[in-house]
Structures are given as structure tokens and as C-alpha cells.
Structure 1
Amino acid sequence: MGNDDYKNRSYGEIPVGTGFKPGIVVVDFQLGFTDPDYPLGGAPLVMRALKNTETLLKAARRYGVPVASCNTAYMNEREMPYWKITAVRETFRHDHPSVALDPRIHDPAYDLVVCKKGPSIFFSTGVADYFAKERVDTVIVTGCNTSGCIRATAIDAFSHRYRTLVPEDCVGDIEEQPHRDNLRDLGRRYVDVVDLDHALAYLERWHAAQATPQEA
């Protein structure tokens, strides 16, 4: 069936859409990924995603949308999983400046902040509990890296039965090909791959609906 095999077998036919209330997760926008002074920092796609996520979060906080942010940090190498990345093993420690959240996307007075130990923001953290209390049923995933922690987070969001949106320009990776490949595959199975404008329009529609008196 050639290059359309997935399409011909019905992959990606049904959109996820949006539900009753959005929530946003911000994955690993810590200085280790956003500051070029660090070994993993400053990748162009990550910096683009940081800028666009900053725009998205300003709207989200203005409209009262729940935001959960995370970093990845460990007490020492003994606590870590078996990372194959030297820079993670050497710098992602609680006492290292690279694990601080980038102030451009972090509002300590608003965001729920968790420190994750694995790839997904939902794994062994309180984010799903927070979203349950807030009655979130639609999750917008932002952050880095697309092929690693974004993919894991998106799959966990799907597994938690959230409608899941991933704005392509609000997530980033070290290289463009893994970024594109992973978004394509996520979009075939689990999520709607959208963009910043789509996500902003959704938040605006949701906010407007909250302000409209409901019929009895």
C-alpha cells in the first residue's frame, strides 16, 4: 500500500478534539535545556518552543487555566534511573543551577510544580490528582524534548483518558527529524498535533464559554 499504509489502515482518522476544561503541562523547561551555557541547553527548536509556551501560558493564567510545570532532578546518581546521557547524570542534581525552571515560563505563585524522576510529568507525581480536583479533561502538552519526555507525557496523558493536544511549536527537541517523526507518530495514535494559534483559540473559546450564563 506504499507510503499511505498507516492512513489506509485508519490511523489518525478520528480527531481527539477538546472537552470541558483545559489544563497545561510544561515539561522540563529548566535551565539545563534553555540556557546554552549548559551541555544540553539552547537547542533552536527548544528555544522556539520556550518562546511560544511563554505566550500560551500568559493567556492560560489570565483565563484561570490550571498549569503544572516540572523539572527533572535527583539527589545523586544512586537515585537516578539508568540514564544513558552523561550530561543528565552529571548536572541534573538538586544542588545544580541547571535544574531551576526558566523564569520566562515559571510563575511560582500560580503553577503547580513537581520534580519528576522519569520521562513523564505524570509518573509518580501529583499532577493527575491536581487535574482531577480541577476537573481537567483536556491536556495541552508543552516543553522538551519531543522524542523523550514529551512523547512519554503525551502517552501518559492518553492513558489517563485525557483529550491531549500537542502544539508543534510549543515543544522542541535537539534535532528536527526526531521532533517531526515523534509528533507524526503521536498524531497517528494518541493526540491531536496542533499549533500555538490553535491552542490559544481553544483557551479563548473556553474562557468565553465560562463567562456566558448557562441555560437553566
Structure 2
Amino acid sequence: MSAPKARPWEEYVPAAELESLAANGFGALQGAGSSPCLLVVDVVMSFLGPRPGSDDPPSVMGCGDMGWERLPTIVGLVDAMRAAGVPVVFTKGDPVDKAFCGGSVKRTSDATLARAVHEAPFPAEIVPRDDEYVLSKPKASAFFGTPLLPYLVRSGIDSLVLVGTTTSGCVRATAVDAMSNNLHVAVVADACFDRSAFAHAANLFDISMKYGDVIAADDVKTWTATPAHAASERNT
């Protein structure tokens, strides 16, 4: 698989540490189950921020250039999954829940800010279709306090491909909860974004070591076609 795009942490983690972790089985490829779903996490205008070159005021929760740089890759994956008949689920924060129950992070505990952030629309490039599930969530994880798991069970889905934002927040929380529910997890490194390049790399590193497979967008098709037993054989 395409290591450079999928392993941004190599800039920060010493090679000896990576070798030691690998020798003890951390970071081994898990592989997919038999029925994947693409989960697009919180790719809304408030997290993207103003379009490059626009005169729109900045968004307090915007992720800057990284979000707009990754959006075409996210759009490409959405289009590819739709063409392949793979379910696509979109998440966004619920402005009412956030206002009354508190935000996903300390910064959004204010009710007025919560409404401003979570009432933001999806960008025109990836507006959900009428037949696609848009899941509203009260906290960071797409599983916490939502019917995502019943949807996955009803749909026979056993594998999640995660894209979106923020890598260190809602993507990570969703990846951990997906693994905790015994789902196969892939996080697409070059289709996720964050306000901090370091936080992006560090959280992808930790997810790769413990919770799921961190892959490049070019490898999503291969990953979804690689069952867990084949991935296990590849690791040996």
C-alpha cells in the first residue's frame, strides 16, 4: 500500500521506536470484513472555513488550508463508493444537542457558538443524496448517543472507512468506538484533516498502532477487497 501518504507520523517518530512497536505486533494490517461503508465525518463549512481567496470571515473552528486541500480527495472517494454501490454516511453535529448538552470539545460548550458551528451546511461538492444517511451526533464519536450501530447492524455493515475531520477529535473518537464494537476500521490519511498538522500525524500514528488501518486514498479499493484473514497472512 502507499506508505508515504498514509504515514505522516514518520516525520516525528524515531525509526527505532517504529521498529520496536512493529516487532511487538503494533501497527499490523487488520484488513476489511465483507461489507464496507464510507463514513464522512463532519465535513461541513464551519470546519472547512472560508474558501481560499474568499472575503468571508474566518470560522473559529475552521481547519484552514488542510481541509480545502483534502476536500477533492474526499469527494473522489465519495464518488467512487457511490459508483461501487457502497453505502455512504455523513455525520454532522446536532446544534440542539450541542447547545443543551455541551459541545464535543471545551471550545464549543457555549450554546451560541454551538449553533453557529453545527448549523453550517455541507460544501456544495459533497452534498448528501436523498437516499444517503445524514447522522446528527451530540459529541465527538459518531457512535456516542446516536443510532449508528443499529443502522450498521440492520445494513449488515462490518467495516468502516473513515474520512473527514478533525483527525484528532471526531475521526479518532469514531475509530476507537468502531473498533470497540468489533468493526474493521480504516482511516484514510490523505482524506482527513485537522487544525494541527502535528495532531493529525500523532493521532493517525496512534490509530494505526492500536485501533485500525491507516491507509492512503489510492488504497481504499484494495483495502475493502482485502479480508481480515488475508491481511493477517500478509503480516506474518
Q: Give the structure-2-normalised TM-score.
A: 0.77
User: Which letter maps to 1:109?
Assistant: D
User: Which letter maps to 1:177?
Assistant: F
Identity %: 26
Report whether the alignment pairs 1:79 with 2:93: no
| Residues 80 and 86 (structure 1), Cα distance of their counterparts in 2 relative to 1, 3 Å cut | closer
The residue correspondences of 1:33-72 to structure 2 (distance < 5 A) are 33-36=47-50, 37=57, 38-72=59-93
Report the Cα distance in structure 1 between the residues aligned to 2:45 and 2:119, rounded to whole angstroms: 5
Counterpart for residue 3 of structure 2 = none
- Which has more helix, going by share of residues? 2
Are the aligned partners of 2:89 and 2:134 in contact in 1 as well (CA < 8 Å)?
Answer: yes
The residue correspondences of 1:132-211 to structure 2 (distance < 5 A) are 132-202=153-223
Report the Cα distance in structure 2 between the residues aligned to 1:34 and 1:82, rounded to whole angstroms: 17
Counterpart for residue 104 of structure 1 = 125
Equivalent residue pairs, number: 203
Which structure's relative contact order is higher, taking Cα pairs within 8 Å and 6+ residues apart?
A: 2
Report whether the alignment pairs 1:9 with 2:24: yes
Counterpart for residue 35 of structure 2 = 21
| Residues 78 and 19 (structure 1), Cα distance of their counterparts in 2 relative to 1, 3 Å cut | closer
User: Which letter maps to 2:114?
Assistant: F
Are the aligned partners of 2:61 and 2:117 in contact in 1 as well (CA < 8 Å)?
Answer: no
Q: Give the superposition deviation at 1:72.
A: 1.0
Structure 1 runs not aligned, ≥5 long? 207-216
Are the aligned partners of 2:165 and 2:171 in contact in 1 as well (CA < 8 Å)?
Answer: yes
Report the Cα distance in structure 1 between the residues aligned to 2:118 and 2:35, rounded to whole angstroms: 35
Structure 2 runs not aligned, ≥5 long? 1-15, 51-56, 227-236
User: Which letter maps to 1:199?
Assistant: V
